[in-house]
Structure 1
Amino acid sequence: MNALDTTLPAPARTIAPAHPTHKFKLLLKREFWEHKGGFFWAPLIAGGVSLLLTLMAIIVGEVAARRALADGEFDGEIMINGLDLGYLSEKLGPGELSELAPVMDLSMLMAASWPFIVLAFVVFFYCLGALYDERKDRSVLFWKSLPLSDRDTVLSKVASATLVAPALAVAASLVTMFAFLLLISVVALLHNGSPMTLIWGPGSPLSVALQLVASIPVYALWALPTVGWLLLCSAWARSKPFLWAIMIPLFAGIFVSWFDLMQVFDLESSWFWKNIVARLLFSVVPGTWVDAAHLEGVDFDGAGQMTSLLGLKASWSALLSPSLWIGVAAGAAMIVGAIRLRRWRDEG
């Protein structure tokens, strides 16, 4: 006779509910993987295109210099392979090198700007289709069947547009900037020049990199009006959200200008275009906050003008602007509207 099995059954496992932060992290991952082409690849490709154009410009310059050398148009300290940058390095004093510093910083900023140009288009069209596309392909029914709130879903799209996409664009810009420095360093070496003396010494790559990284929170706050407006249109429009998002502010600006409605508040019509229309449509363009910054004490001398405008002081001084915080409040109100519209929208 078999012995009785006295082992007790294992207690049922209880599965703890997912923490809200875990859900939000998964929503961010979802947005990234669904829009990886725009968030990740587009800035990198833009940076690669800028490097390719720089390389082509260097090659064209080398060919032109060799032809000029062959025709006897150059004189002085010329090597067989072009200009002798080693001779130039020896002749440059501290004063000339200090004047070269803003030129190098401006060159780095220009090389790093391509991913940010793409960022403006990526964020604009991402927000415009973020809530409309899921209703159009009916995938919203699947996502609503999951234990995910409309608030978390919309906020994950806001975070993707204002934090994830800019952070990836900054990473792509830094890769582009340092690749640009390496490229021109190779050119300097080929011409007997010292990259440390002519490029890395006068320039401030780490300072420029810090400026780009520090601009992310400023961008996140400044872009909220456009992000909120586009998400609101994306949640509301039954078709053609692009036309609704563009035409409503434009027609409002034309109406205000036509009837001079801003004179009631003792303001010009240009105020409405600048603070309402432009803020609703173009706040996702990096650097547009500079106009609102308090720029007292910023020096504008030669090539240093652009670097001062895009510097850390100018960017963070935008946080003192009432225009930024009014835009944050307006953007937050429109985001709340988008959340409610997503919750109650019926496409029939």
Structure 2
Amino acid sequence: MKAFAALIRREFIEHRGAFFIAPLSLVGVLFGAAILAFTVGRVDGKFSGAMFTVAPMRVYELGFLGFSAAWCLYLLGTLFFYCADGFAADKRNNAMLFWKSMPVSDFRILLSKLAAALTIFPGVIYGVALLSGLLLFGVAFTTALVNGTGSAALLGNIAEVYGQVAVSLLVVIVCGLLWFLPYMALVGAMATAMGRWAIPMSLLLPAIISTLEWVTLGGLHPFDTATWNYLSYRSTFPLSEEGYLDTWFMSGENFAAGAFVSDLILRFGWLQVGTGALFALIVLYIASEYRRRVNDN
């Protein structure tokens, strides 16, 4: 277990630039820009504070939810490139013989990389997202104080919104990781064999498979096949239209994490999650066997 934890820690050390340093730097730049905008008069503090008197909760809710959605997209993109790069890093930097000498199987090494993509990296991004919301919290309340509309009640209301969105963001990240797990494992497995060529191949592979189905079984066009429809379904996070978010946005009520999470869980395809996890383990095992046999020869 200690060896497995050490492998995960190694992944964080090697990729902390994308998952820790860059997000913190981005938060620092955005926070500095916000402060500078107020201090040099680019933003009217009285007007901004007045917004918090008209719809204080809605302004902060939309702001924090917008930041959360942006960080989820950032996490999705960085995990894709991590899986396409990290699974081939040992072979690329000539460290393969060193890791082959360790009493750890190739399957456990690849599993540690996937575990890092599911735990420590999303955890860091989640922490940065919470920091973004906290800084937005400070900017919102400070603006209200400058305008003379700040109060203990407003502070408590903003804190409640912060907690509601933070819980919802955690659930979205966990569900998103489970939903996109087979893609992450497939890209990592391809990277084990192809290296960084796994990036373009992972984008071309769905089109190739769908085209082969169209040629053999027929259809209107290559993107009107059962394969393409299924991959499109698995590539879309199950936050369907006319769900809680649409209802909440039109209602004007405060954002409720319990209602959002319940709606998400009810719409989630848990059978798909289970089959995706099984698929991920299978492709990782195949990749580990390829890695072991190729390097033994």
Normalising TM by the smaller chain, what interval? 0.7 to 0.9
Matched-pair contact (CA < 8 Å) for 1:298–1:308? no
The letter of the residue matching 2:178 is L
**5+ long unaligned stretches in structure 2:** none
Q: What RMSD in Å do the two structures reach over aligned CA positions?
A: 3.7
**CA offsets 1:276-295 (integer angstroms, 9 cap, x no match):** 2674xx57xxxx2424x995
* 1:172 CA displacement: 0.5
Matches within 5 A, 1:1-348: 21-52=1-32, 54-55=34-35, 62-63=41-42, 65=44, 82-83=46-47, 100-194=56-150, 196-198=152-154, 200-201=156-157, 204-237=161-194, 240-257=197-214, 261=218, 269=224, 272-276=227-231, 279=234, 288-291=237-240, 295=243, 299-302=247-250, 311-346=260-295
Aligned length: 293
**Structure 1: distance between partners of 2:150 and 2:21:** 34
Matched-pair contact (CA < 8 Å) for 1:215–1:316? no
The letter of the residue matching 1:331 is A
The letter of the residue matching 2:23 is P
Instruction: Say which one has the larger Rg.
Output: 1
The letter of the residue matching 2:28 is G
**Structure 2: distance between partners of 1:340 and 1:110:** 43
* 1:23 CA displacement: 0.9
Q: TM-score, normalised by structure 2?
A: 0.81
**CA offsets 1:103-124 (integer angstroms, 9 cap, x no match):** 4322211133343332122211
**5+ long unaligned stretches in structure 1:** 1-20, 66-80
The letter of the residue matching 1:35 is H
The percentage of aligned residue pairs carrying the same residue is 20
> Secondary structure, in 3 states, of the residue corresponding to 1:193?
coil
**Structure 2: distance between partners of 1:300 and 1:258:** 45
Structure number with the higher helix fraction is 2
> Secondary structure, in 3 states, of the residue corresponding to 1:111?
helix
Larger relative CO (CA 8 A, sep 6+): 1 or 2?
Answer: 2
> Secondary structure, in 3 states, of the residue corresponding to 1:240?
helix
